[in-house]
Amino acid sequence: MKKALTNRQKRHRRVRKKISGTAQRPRLNVYRSLSNFYAQLIDDTTGKIIVSVSTLNKELKSSNNYGGNKEAAKVLGKVFAEAASKANIKECVFDRGGYLYHGRVKEFAEAAREGGLKF
């Protein structure tokens, strides 16, 4: 028996057919749970994760108690942009994971752009 897909999973599969990351322009994937936010840069040609950051990191956890709000997403976006620049990544393809460009996803994306990441 097949498990029913949520609307977000359907949107994500539909978008992933068109979006793919390369070594020069990796895919920026985001995932949000109720209490945390995760982001990673992925090179789809080799299947390797280049940079990975989440609100569970020790330095972010100490500055912000709860990782499931807009403020935590904004801080994570700035930290992510710094980590990407250390890995010499300036451009990427944004994969919002089937989520609407609103709330935490929007705050993360805008903070990453302010940090110097282009997508």
**Tens of pLDDT, residues 19-37:** 999 999 999 999 999 999 9
**28-67 burial string, b = 16+ CB within 10 Å, else e?**
bbbbbeeebbbbbbbbbeeeeebbebbbeeeebeeebeeb
Which letter does DSSP use for residue 69 in this model?
S
Question: In the predicted model, what is the mean pLDDT of residues 69-74?
Answer: 94
Domains and CATH numbers, the chain: 19-114 (3.30.420.100)
Residue 112 has pLDDT above 80, yes or no: yes
CB-based contact 48:26 (threshold 8 Å): no
How far apart are the C-alpha atoms of 30 and 94, rounded to whole Å?
Answer: 8
**pTM given for the model:** 0.91
- Residue 98's region, left for phi above 0, alpha for psi from -120 to 50, else beta, is left
Task: State the pLDDT confidence band at 89, using cuts at 50, 70 and 90.
Answer: very high
What pLDDT was estimated at residue 12? 95
CB-based contact 67:55 (threshold 8 Å): yes
